Amino acid sequence: MESSQSLPKPLAPTLRIIGATAITAARNKIMGMGPLFYVMVWSSLPLFLLMSVMLIYRDDTELRNYALVGGAGVSLLFSMLYGAGEILDSERQRGTLGNLFVSPGPRYAWLAGFQIFNLLEAAFSGMVALVTGSLLFGIQLDVNPLSLLVSLLLFIASLWGFSMIAGAIGVAIRNANQLSNLLFSPILMVAGAMYPVDRMPEWLRIPARCLPFSYGMDALVASVTTGASLASLGHDFLPLAGFAIVLPVLGIAAFNRLERMSKRTGSLELMS
């Protein structure tokens, strides 16, 4: 097993693992809940949270526009953070997490598969929030597709890395879902999903600027509501690009460390 880990992995099998894991995760989740129930659950939080915030911001167009896109951003945060934790916890509860870890495929491949499904899920609930919010509150969007694409790529890479780190810690402490629960509220507070960073209180801007979320949200909002160009978003893209490189590397390192630890202690499938 150890020797196979050190061999260079061809891309095709890795991609197959990613694809198969994504499909399995989708089937498990959607068919497990039933399609209707699944749609209700995953669109509820962003949609109703968005409606709450939009009602509070009813008299301020700029804030309403911000909150609308921020609502879609919440979907992204929610899916990426909870998706990994929930799936890993489910695997552990089913007694299959150990099998995943001792399988010869790279850990980040199956985790990436889970995350791709989470991304599609986030895209769906984000779109629901965006379209419903636009229709209900009559908001006109001004989208710059290139800026939006770059914003999404960098933001998703950062979130993927972050969720890998959180997932590794969650599995190590044998409660990934609870860890996501613990992290979600403070992240939501500093993420700039419900208010722009420059209107946050001073004490909150410091942690907000140390994390990738606010840069990603800022870039997303600007590229969707004001049609901001790539050049004008440089102040967001630069730090976000840094996070998009560093966090996935740290995430993969965290999972490798978790793998070594779990092989040494054999405690991966203990329930508490």
Partner 1 sequence: MQPVLLANRHGLALNWGVFHGTIRAMMLRWASNTIQLVRGPIYPLLALITYRIIYDISGQTTIDQSHVMGFLVTGILATQAWQATVWGAGSALQNEMWSGTIGSVLMAPGSSTAVILGHTFGNFLMSAPSLLIAFIAGQLFGATYDFSHPLAIVVALATVYLSCVCVGLCFSGLFILSRNANAFANFLQEPIHLLGGFFISRTLFPDWIQRISDIIPLAHAVEALRKTVLEGAPLSGISRDLLAAAITSSIFAVIGAWSLARLDRAVRRTGTLDLL
Q: Are 77 and 193 in contact (CB under 8 A)?
A: yes
Identify which range of 15-23, 40-48, 232-240, 251-259 contacts partner 1 by CB under 8 A: 40-48
* Cα(191)–Cα(211) distance, integer angstroms: 8
Identify which range of 32-40, 105-113, 158-166, 253-261 contacts partner 1 by CB under 8 A: 32-40
Of 122 and 188, the one with the shorter C-beta distance to partner 1 is 188
**Residue 91 C-beta: closest distance to partner 1, Å:** 12
How many C-beta atoms lie closer than 10 Å to residue 238's C-beta? Answer: 11
138: left (phi over 0), alpha (psi -120 to 50) or beta: left
* Cα(208)–Cα(199) distance, integer angstroms: 12
Of 5 and 181, the one with the shorter C-beta distance to partner 1 is 181
182 is a contact residue toward partner 1 (CB under 8 A): yes
* Cα(199)–Cα(53) distance, integer angstroms: 15
Identify which range of 98-106, 118-126, 184-192, 248-256 contacts partner 1 by CB under 8 A: 184-192
Of 209 and 263, the one with the shorter C-beta distance to partner 1 is 209
List phi, psi (to 5°) of 217: -65, -45
128 is a contact residue toward partner 1 (CB under 8 A): no
Of 205 and 263, the one with the shorter C-beta distance to partner 1 is 205
Segment 199 to 258, residues that bind partner 1, using CB under 8 A? 199-201, 204
Identify which range of 58-66, 123-131, 148-156, 208-216 contacts partner 1 by CB under 8 A: 58-66
Of 32 and 234, the one with the shorter C-beta distance to partner 1 is 32
Of 93 and 265, the one with the shorter C-beta distance to partner 1 is 93
Q: Which of 82, 87, 57 is nearest to 71 (CA)?
A: 57
User: Contacting partner 1 (CB under 8 A), which of 147, 175, 225, 262?
Assistant: 175
Q: Are 215 and 193 in contact (CB under 8 A)?
A: no
Q: Are 195 and 66 in contact (CB under 8 A)?
A: yes
* Cα(27)–Cα(101) distance, integer angstroms: 21
* Cα(146)–Cα(157) distance, integer angstroms: 17
DSSP letter at 219 equals H
Of 5 and 178, the one with the shorter C-beta distance to partner 1 is 178
* Cα(170)–Cα(180) distance, integer angstroms: 8
Angle made by CA atoms 155, 158, 163, in degrees to the nearest 5: 120
44 is a contact residue toward partner 1 (CB under 8 A): yes
**Residue 98 C-beta: closest distance to partner 1, Å:** 17
Identify which range of 19-27, 141-149, 175-183, 246-254 contacts partner 1 by CB under 8 A: 175-183
* List of residues contacting partner 1 (CB under 8 A): 32-33, 37, 40-41, 44-45, 47-49, 51-53, 55-60, 63, 93, 173, 175, 178-179, 181-182, 185-186, 188-189, 194-195, 199-201, 204, 272
